[in-house]
Amino acid sequence: MRYIQRLFVLALVALAACTPKPAAEEIPDLAAYVNPKIGTGGHGHVFVGANVPFGMVQLGPTSITQAWDWCSGYHDSENSVIGFSHTHLSGTGCGDLFDITLMPVTGPTKAERGTLEDPASGSWSPGDRTKEIAEPGYYSIPLTRYGILAELTATSRVGFHRYTFPASDDAAIVFDLENGGCWDRLKGSEFETETNAEGKVVAVSGYRYSSGWARDQRVFFRAEVSRPAEAFTLLENPAYARFELGETAEGEQVLVKVAISPVDTDGAAANMNAELPGWDFEATRTDARLAWNRQLAKIRVEGDDEAKTLFYTALYHTMVAPSDYSDVDGRYRGSDSVVRSGDFRNFTTFSLWDTYRAAHPLMTLIHADRMDDIVATMYHIYLEQGDLPVWHLWGNETDCMVGNPGLCAFADAVVKGFRGGLTDDEIVDAMVTTATTPDRGQDLRMKFGYIPARVPYTPEGWFFGESVANDMEYAIADGALAQCAAFLGRDSLAAEYTERSHSYRHFWDPETQFMRGRQLDGSFTEPFNPSHASTQGADYTEGTGWQYIWLVPQDVDGLVELFGSREAFLAKLDALFEAPAVIEGENASPDITGLIGQYAHGNEPGHHTIYLYTMLGEPAKAADRLRQVYREMYFNAPDGLAGNEDVGQMSAWYILSTLGFYQVEQAVPRYWFGAPLFEKAEVKVPGGTFTVIADGLSPKHPYIQSVKLNGKPYDKGYIEYKDIVAGGELRFEMGAGPARWYEI
């Protein structure tokens, strides 16, 4: 019997040897469609440089100018380069990072940032934008002051520089630890050098401590250079130093590897040894592009080159962050500055007030492999600082923006099956503690049932502002908590927080049909102008009364009830898009952009609004407005975004919407239908491939007529998360006239 079994096994082995092996999956070069310059003009604030998806390093040029439109360190309108920094933000409204800046030079330099008015100041140089190359994983630009070509590529934790020098007898690489983000100030720095047997410097290590948007940021680094230095000279400002190369021949190339760590210089060294032990620049560039192509290939769309450029650039922008925030050995620096080691991959750069709306729901579809780590990261942030993150940056809670957006993203991930190894009790504790922490207006809300306007909030008489926006965002988070509690079988908790999520009703003014600031005595704040916005003492955050009517995704039925009828609700929604596209007020936020009437697509609170048409049984109106946004707010130019990219949110809205669906409600795992832009799209999901087909789609056939899921007629206005991630086929039949295929 054993002999027969052995023959059978040998036969199987022989058969396997004769059977052709499946070919390795072909990964298309979708990076060729990415234009990283989209969003570098206007108020897009996007990062330009070399990185890999979700990498710790964002290696790119940093400009002299320190202003709002230079939050990423780069703007299309100005070409100065003070050096190449290893950390950057993408699309934010605040400027920070720009850590560990290197600049190749020839001749003497000054230890200062420099000014645009003085071409000989500092170490800066104009960059020749006519010869600039920006691609996923690679960046290059000629520095005209020095005649040096700078090229950059990266791994997750290591930046790789290649500098091509002219003939010079005084070449050097300036190490600048002074300059950081627009509102960043140096708190401490240090250089340490390593020499070879000849006494020449071959490596530099150190750190940069700073305070800015991230109040206590610590970045450690190790740099190795392919050519030893004659000397490493500290300048009059000891945060500047020159790695003295001395004489260079025409066309001589010098390579520099810089690894960073949030923990220590040993961590930076280990990161370099693990990710980039060699010196092959071209191989690293190829690997970086391959890393991007693997991620971009998670969604494949059929369309013309222009359509693919917009789509894949948007997809690229969604994967700059959240970024790695742990060393290769698992160590990271916690929110309390304690160094820890976790059994999960730690992340940072959570722009949650923006990204909970679309970027995180997109991640749950195509980046399921990262979601448990993100949940675990958020939970450990809660353990370290006492609540879930609001806007987390390099181990620091910035508390930027309003509400509890981290709770929204956390709860949504949990109901989709991503638990981060947590128990039910741990999940509930993190959410409830966050929702009951008595700060940032939550104390007022728990005391009065809503956040009253213009209540003295400190002994000095400081008033708590933006009461409507704060309360309505807290209500959304309460709704997400309620949904997650119900999912976990905590029915009484779900009921409690469902009731709390209705606090928005305090602000409803039936006479004007707007959400208005309300004082303790019940009166509405005066004067009232629904088109007025202000950054000083207003009731709204980066918006007007028009935009905040609709910020109730957790209770759309309840909002309809306030209007009195579906018809009245829809009439007001129509009026939103038809109102004059004018924002009034001397101190209006510059974030209120991308106007269609009073709908502001360039800022996040309104990103779900168009889908209310679908929810109320008017999918054709949703399609009309969505296609208007596609046409007017996204295009292939530096000013091709309607507002700040906001760490992927503007682009994630576009990705989901052009696929044909969008998640409106937090922790309710379903996506409402809208307006597919592609005849065919294939999305890689945990269950295989989810294919979206829009039969008959054309400019004359823009409306969904009917829907099939896996070949069977489908009679809902949304698709559930579980049906997407299982894989299968969603087929839209498109037509010329409005239609509704579902009941409401």
- Does residue 470 contact residue 402 with C-beta atoms inside 8 Å? yes
For residue 23, the 8-state DSSP code is: P
Distance CA 635, CA 280 (A): 36
Distance CA 688, CA 205 (A): 45
Contacts by 519-522, CB closer than 8 A, 24 or more apart: 519/452, 519/453, 519/454, 519/455, 520/448, 520/452, 520/455
- The residues with which 339 forms a beta bridge, in sequence order, are 333
What does each C-alpha distance from 321 to 124, 409, 648 come to in angstroms?
28, 15, 8
Helix axis angle, 619-633 to 649-659, nearest 10°: 130
Q: What is the pLDDT of residue 25?
A: 66
Q: What is the pLDDT of residue 461?
A: 64
Both tokens assigned to 65? 């100018």
pLDDT tens digits for range 247-280:
999 999 999 999 999 999 999 999 999 999 999 9
- The residues with which 322 forms a beta bridge, in sequence order, are none
**Strand, helix or coil for residue 101:** strand
339 closest CA partner among 428, 445, 263: 263
What counts of helices (H) and strands (E) characterise the chain?
19, 36
Distance CA 424, CA 402 (A): 27
The secondary structure of 221-259 as a DSSP string is EEEEEEEEESEEEE-SSTTEEEEEEEEE-TT-EEEEEEE
Q: What is the pLDDT of residue 24?
A: 53
163 closest CA partner among 251, 254, 237: 254
- The residues with which 115 forms a beta bridge, in sequence order, are 118
Q: Please enumerate in sequence order all residues whose Cβ is within 8 A of that of 463, keeping only pairs 6 or more positions apart, or say none.
A: 454, 455, 456, 457, 537
529 closest CA partner among 512, 507, 508, 542: 512
- Bridge pairing between strands 728-735 and 688-695: parallel
- Does residue 165 contact residue 319 with C-beta atoms inside 8 Å? no
Q: What is the pLDDT of residue 21?
A: 43
- Bridge pairing between strands 168-176 and 158-164: unpaired
Distance CA 340, CA 327 (A): 11
Tell me how many degrees the CA angle 364-359-725 measures, rounded to the nearest 5.
25
331 closest CA partner among 286, 274, 266, 253: 266
- Does residue 734 contact residue 703 with C-beta atoms inside 8 Å? yes
Q: In what order do the strands lie in the sheet with 670-673?
A: 661-662, 670-673, 718-720
What does each C-alpha distance from 429 to 341, 412, 667, 671 come to in angstroms?
22, 16, 17, 28
Residue bearing tokens 């730690």: 346
The end-to-end CA distance of the chain, in Å, is: 66
- Does residue 221 contact residue 86 with C-beta atoms inside 8 Å? yes
Distance CA 360, CA 629 (A): 21
Q: What is the pLDDT of residue 19?
A: 41
What does each C-alpha distance from 110 to 78, 432, 472, 480 come to in angstroms?
21, 54, 51, 54
- The residues with which 85 forms a beta bridge, in sequence order, are 60, 101
Residue bearing tokens 């065919």: 680
For residue 328, the 8-state DSSP code is: T
Query: Which parts of the chain have pLDDT scores under 50?
Result: 1-23
Ordered domains of the chain (ranges, CATH): 30-296 (2.70.98.10), 438-606 (1.20.1610.10)
- Does residue 274 contact residue 186 with C-beta atoms inside 8 Å? no
